[in-house]
């Protein structure tokens, strides 16, 4: 049976430097090709990108400027790193908040293995420590900061593309500058996303939310404890069917409402069908399961029969070899 082998890099660098430069050099060729998928003319000019970043997330500007410098300062690298109106992309994903006992956020990231950046970053770029699964070299797929705020994203199942930022950069901004779920939801109301996404949030106090963002309609903040790849009604039936979005959402909701469900069993379900997707020979599947515990300030990345854990006091740099069938 054919398989894809990837290496997950777990990197600690509190301020942007040579390690981040190495990550850029490792990934830029693939990201540059993605950036130009629709042609250079399809991406906004640098001054437009910089102006949008200054308008909506000005606190990120020093980090952005430093990363552009480390990347070599080219026009296309700077425009790419702004993540303003990026090339459209879609993921699968299931995510949920467990509220009983010790609350935690858990998610499966479903995506083509060959397109995954495969980097877990431990940073303190703006004075607070963040552990996050990286995307687009400084965006966040899921992560937690040292105040116990944790976030995760899932594609919202809609084709509409508009003005706004790639959601991974908005999640980076949240972890760099927010402490609570309430603060995070205000950012998601204020900062525009270029596509539809479902963002699940949990903070150290146990406050949670699932936020539905879209480029063409108002942001909706709900107390829903789970999200897959639709926003209430089905906008894109073909995608919903292909990813079993409705079935996965129903399965998670039933497990969350079952008083007999244990914490351990609920975690294990994310490593089993129907949540764990083994469709890599068809082009995509579950790449990892991440679990964030805001009370213990710890996180783990899981695969069937294998788990690695980190916290803010002991973040071990390592390279993990992972095989996907």
pLDDT in tens, 231-249: 989 999 999 999 999 999 9
Q: How confident is the model at residue 283 (pLDDT cuts 50, 70, 90)?
A: confident
Across the range 11-18, mean pLDDT stands at: 98
Mean pLDDT score across all residues of the chain: 96
Q: Tell which wins on pLDDT, 172 or 280.
A: 172
Q: Quick check: 9 pLDDT over 80?
A: yes
Spell out the alpha helix ranges (H) of the chain: 18-35, 46-56, 61-70, 75-82, 167-177, 181-190, 237-243, 245-257, 263-269
Q: How confident is the model at residue 1 (pLDDT cuts 50, 70, 90)?
A: low
The per-residue DSSP string of 207-224 comes to: -EEEEEE-SSS--EEE--
Residue with tokens 């996180």: 299
Torsion, CA 67, CA 72, CA 76, CA 82, rounded to 10: 10
Across the range 204-225, mean pLDDT stands at: 98
Q: Write down the pLDDT at residue 5.
A: 87
Supply the pTM of this predicted model.
Answer: 0.97
Residue with tokens 């639709």: 230
Across the range 103-129, mean pLDDT stands at: 97
Q: Write down the pLDDT at residue 92.
A: 86
CB neighbour class for 37 (10 Å; exposed up to 12, middle 13-18, buried from 19)? exposed
Q: Write down the pLDDT at residue 280.
A: 80
Q: Write down the pLDDT at residue 267.
A: 98
Q: Of 174, 196, 179, which Cα lies nearest the Cα of 88?
A: 196
Q: How confident is the model at residue 2 (pLDDT cuts 50, 70, 90)?
A: low
């Amino acid at each position: 049976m054919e398989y894809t082998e990837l290496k997950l890099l777990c990197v600690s660098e509190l301020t942007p430097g040579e390690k981040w430069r190495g990550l850029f050099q490792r990934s830029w060729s693939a990201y540059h090709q993605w950036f130009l998928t629709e042609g250079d003319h399809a991406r906004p000019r640098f001054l437009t990108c910089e102006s949008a970043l200054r308008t909506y997330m000005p606190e990120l500007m020093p980090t952005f400027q430093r990363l552009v410098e480390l990347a070599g300062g080219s026009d296309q690298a700077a425009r790419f790193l702004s993540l303003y109106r990026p090339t459209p992309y879609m993921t699968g994903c299931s995510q949920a908040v467990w509220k009983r006992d010790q609350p935690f956020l858990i998610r499966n990231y479903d995506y083509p293995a060959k397109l995954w950046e495969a980097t877990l970053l431990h940073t303190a770029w703006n004075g607070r420590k963040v552990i996050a699964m990286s995307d687009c070299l400084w965006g966040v797929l899921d992560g937690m900061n040292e105040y116990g705020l944790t976030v995760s994203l899932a594609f919202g199942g809609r084709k509409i593309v508009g003005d706004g930022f790639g959601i991974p950069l908005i999640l980076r901004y949240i972890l760099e500058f927010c402490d609570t779920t309430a603060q995070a939801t205000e950012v998601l109301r204020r900062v525009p996303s270029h596509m539809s996404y479902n963002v699940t949030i949990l903070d150290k106090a146990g406050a949670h939310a699932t936020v539905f963002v879209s480029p063409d309609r108002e942001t909706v903040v709900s107390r829903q404890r789970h999200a897959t790849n639709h926003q209430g009604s089905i906008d894109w039936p073909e995608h919903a069917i292909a990813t079993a979005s409705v079935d996965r959402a129903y399965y998670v909701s039933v497990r969350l409402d079952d008083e007999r469900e244990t914490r351990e069993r609920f975690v294990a379900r994310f490593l089993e069908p129907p949540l764990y997707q083994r469709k890599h020979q068809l082009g995509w599947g579950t790449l990892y399961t991440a679990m964030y515990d805001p009370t213990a300030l710890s996180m783990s990345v899981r695969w069937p029969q294998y788990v690695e854990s980190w916290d803010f006091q002991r973040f071990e740099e390592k390279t993990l070899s992972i095989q996907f069938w």
